[in-house]
Amino acid sequence: MKTETLIGKSVPRIDSIRKATGAAKYTADLFLSGMLHAKVLRSPYPHARILDIDTSKAEQLEGVRAVITGKDTKGVKWGVFPYTQDHGMIATDKVRFIGEEVAAVAAVTEEIAQRAVELIDVTYEELPAVFDPEKAMKDDKLIHEDRGTNINVHVDIDVGDVDAAFGEAEIVLEDVFKSAGEAYAMMEPYSVVADFNSEGYLDLWIPNAGPHVRAKALSNLLKMPLNKVRVRKIDIGGAFGGRSEVSPSDVVTALLSIKSRQPVKLVLSREETFTATRQVHDMIVYLKTGADANGMIIARDARVIYDGGAYSSTGPIATSVPFYVYEETYKHPNVRYNGYRVYTNKCPRGMYPHHGRAYQVAMTTHMDMVAEKLGLDPMEIRLRNANRSGDHTATDSVISSCGLSESITMTAEMSRWSEKRGKLPKYRGIGMGSMGLMCGFPMGFRSGATAFIRMNESGQITLFTGMVDNGQGNENMVVQITAEVIGIPMEMVNLVNADTEMTGHDPGAYSQAATFVGGNAVMRAAQDVRRQVLAASAEMMKVAPDELDITNGMIHLKNDNEKSFFIARAARYAMSNGGNIVGKGSYFPKISRDREWVKNPRGQMGGTYSFNTVVTEIEVDPDTGIIKMLDVWAAHDCGKPINPATVEGQIHGIVSRGGVATYMEEIDWDRGQVLNPNLLDYKVPLATDMPEMDVELITTNDPEGPFGAKEGGLTASMNVYKAIVSAFYDATGVWLKELPFTPEKVLKALAKKNN
């Protein structure tokens, strides 16, 4: 077997220098000739009927080039699935949350655009609003009258005989858990540049998680041919799931450019980014758990209510994923899950790396409670219930490779778990969280990826892939794979990516598919190029292709490195014979094509699954209620790391963000108004909040992954807050059941215990 020279090596990322020096270009940095500036008029009400919009004063203001309202849209509504299409992107009949788009202006300066927006007169009829999802489920004040109910999505999963299993259980627990909604808090405010040219082509620069998915959505919403809607490559300043779908800002900017026939830029303020782009679901979880005398969880019954906000967004997926990531982790012989995503008069909610906080905390807390009642170590109960390679999940997925148990034992050893759990000083504790995560879940035909590679006459490679990189290191990953497979230095690979008119389809940085799906397509394209290069070289040298190898760009006989020549000779030889070396590779994960999030939640969910365990040691200040993470240990089964430093960096970032979110991050509301829509009042971690961290990577060599690789880092985001919940009990003897663990909640819980 050939020794790998790049795969598994920590090499500098190809985007490092431009980002470290500030040379990276983000959407707000773009300036096109004749570019106009956009501003948006937003609803001041959480729920109101629009009776009239008068834009005449704005249109007459000098410097204004275009004004649009909901009447300028094509009447198409957005939804990830046909049965969730409910969002017209610009309000027409009524507004459903504070900050919803009502009208927009493009002008020669931002100041004129803002003045014009203020001149637009809108007559509203205020309607009763509902902000509590449980009340909304029963309320006759419908947010969408045509839906007949405020229940947006209901996911119903029932496996085994849950009621009979509860009857046989040694221990039965029932509790209620809650978590507040969060903001994504990316460093880059949402920005769009749209340029509609004289030939009818629309170019867009947008922060996104999948350019091809975004282009198709805009093609539908604007009723334009797909090949005339081009999403262009741009650096992206964070995503975290919040940029996974089309945004009203995309449609607004596109329509203004189409109407004005000039390029238009829209840059949202920090406050607009907080209040008018996607947010994270609030959750309420009613959980009942049954366990036998050996600590095996034999029954689960969960009723989970998600505050979905005003529109469907990624509703069916968001309502399902918290359940699926847990069934991928532990055995569920008898389980009932009823997930309800409910309309409220708040900003729409989307996906998130820490998705399902209350549900994951509920499951972990009950597992720890069972362990305590049976006198088991929390680590041991996780090992007993853990899935292993070859196991089937409750909804019929097969786990092909699994390093879950190894991650549990490894973090226990790293952290000296047995020496610390239950033995640390008062107000100091240690806890554990474990999780699995699917790689490449069902997205219809969009689940697959295609990549192309072209070799020029000088031997250099150009890789064309729809892969997008919003911080994970995806660009470096595909270049590393290409160079390794062909046998050339990474410097010889030029990357063209995230441009819908230059690349083949790719699901993007979504569904944990970048490495597993996109990387597989790139690997196959590189193998195609290598095959062609060796065939041309063999013809030149009059030997068989399997007698040749490529090392560092030099083609040579396997048993004689002295007889070698540079790869460019093979490229020119192919060209001189009327050909060109162009490789193509495609990959579609082995998932159930007929699996559907609501109608048929059965079958193979992911192409494979990654696993992670996090252990954290915390300290609780009994006088202030402040929690501090002291140390974090993480072990991650990523199949095989393509670039270990990148995987470790992802875990560092996601653990710090997810961990601090456990006791810091939440959106504060007052009747539909966000009270903390900025980075001063909405608390995110600073450098001083970071714990010491130790990360280890587990190699399981997934049989389907490129070089055995699979997802690298995201699972840790759902483990760190579970570890903190577990550690908090170890430190205080109190089970907290409502996130975030703010100082007020901590002090109240400690006072209740002490009294």
The per-residue pLDDT for range 127-160, each reduced to its tens digit, is: 999 999 999 999 889 999 999 999 999 999 999 9
The CA distance from 331 to 388, in Å, is 9
- Say what the pLDDT of residue 471 is: 85
Exposed/middle/buried for 3, CB within 10 Å: 0-12, 13-18, 19+? exposed
* Average pLDDT score over residue span 586-613: 95
Q: Given a cut of 90, is residue 557 above it in pLDDT? A: yes
| Angstrom distances, CA of residue 169 to CA of 173, 288, 336, 361, 427 | 10, 12, 16, 22, 33
Q: Given a cut of 80, is residue 432 above it in pLDDT? A: yes
Within 344-447, strands assigned E span 349-350, 428-439
Q: Given a cut of 80, is residue 218 above it in pLDDT? A: yes
pLDDT tens column, 186-207: 889 999 999 999 899 999 999 9
The CA distance from 733 to 711, in Å, is 35
Cross-strand pairs, 633:
615, 694
Confidence of residue 327 (pLDDT cuts 50, 70, 90): very high
Q: Given a cut of 70, is residue 1 above it in pLDDT? A: no
Structural domains present in the chain: 31-127+193-238+244-276 (3.90.1170.50), 279-442+594-754 (3.30.365.10), 448-587 (3.30.365.10)
Q: Given a cut of 80, is residue 299 above it in pLDDT? A: yes
pLDDT tens column, 350-375: 988 777 899 999 999 999 999 999 99
**DSSP per position, 259-298:** HHTS-EEEE--HHHHHHHS-EE-EEEEEEEEEE-TTS-EE
62 phi and psi angles, rounded to 5 deg: -65, 135
The CA distance from 152 to 309, in Å, is 10
Confidence of residue 659 (pLDDT cuts 50, 70, 90): confident
End-to-end CA distance of the chain: 67
Residues 6+ apart with CB under 8 A from 40: 101, 102, 103, 104, 117, 249, 252, 266, 268, 272, 276
- Say what the pLDDT of residue 717 is: 84
The three-class DSSP label of residue 378 is helix
Strand 692-698 relative to strand 229-231: parallel, antiparallel, unpaired? Answer: unpaired
- Say what the pLDDT of residue 537 is: 95
pLDDT tens column, 497-531: 999 999 999 998 888 889 999 999 999 999 999 99
Mean pLDDT score of the chain? 95
| Report field, pTM of the whole predicted structure over 0.75 | yes
The CA distance from 82 to 62, in Å, is 42
Residues 6+ apart with CB under 8 A from 113: 36, 37, 38, 39, 64, 105, 106, 107
Kindly give the residue spans of alpha helices, DSSP state H, lying in 621-678.
644-661
- Say what the pLDDT of residue 562 is: 77
For residue 430, what are its two tokens? 């240690």
Could you tell me how far CA 9 lies from the centroid of its own chain?
26
Confidence of residue 571 (pLDDT cuts 50, 70, 90): very high
Residue type, 365: T
- In the numeric block, the tokens 């540079």 are attached to 566
For residue 224, what are its two tokens? 């334009």
pLDDT tens column, 71-123: 999 999 999 999 999 999 999 999 999 999 999 999 999 999 999 999 999 99
CB burial of 554-571 (b: ≥16 within 10 Å; e: otherwise) equals: ebbeeeeeeebeebbbbb
Which has more confidence, 157 or 185? 157
| Percent residues over pLDDT 90 in the chain | 88
- Say what the pLDDT of residue 185 is: 87
pLDDT tens column, 693-702: 999 999 999 9
Residues 6+ apart with CB under 8 A from 310: 87, 96, 97, 100, 143, 343, 344, 345, 346, 347, 348
Nearest to 219 by CA among 211, 227, 210: 227
- Say what the pLDDT of residue 356 is: 85
130 phi and psi angles, rounded to 5 deg: -130, 130
- Say what the pLDDT of residue 323 is: 95
pLDDT tens column, 691-748: 999 999 999 999 999 999 998 878 888 899 999 999 999 999 999 999 999 999 999 9
Cross-strand pairs, 619:
428, 628
Residue 86 neighbours by CB distance under 10 Å:
21
- Say what the pLDDT of residue 561 is: 76
Residues 6+ apart with CB under 8 A from 599: none
The CA distance from 229 to 390, in Å, is 44
For residue 727, what are its two tokens? 């550690």
> Could you tell me if 514 and 474 are in contact, meaning their C-beta atoms sit under 8 angstroms apart?
yes
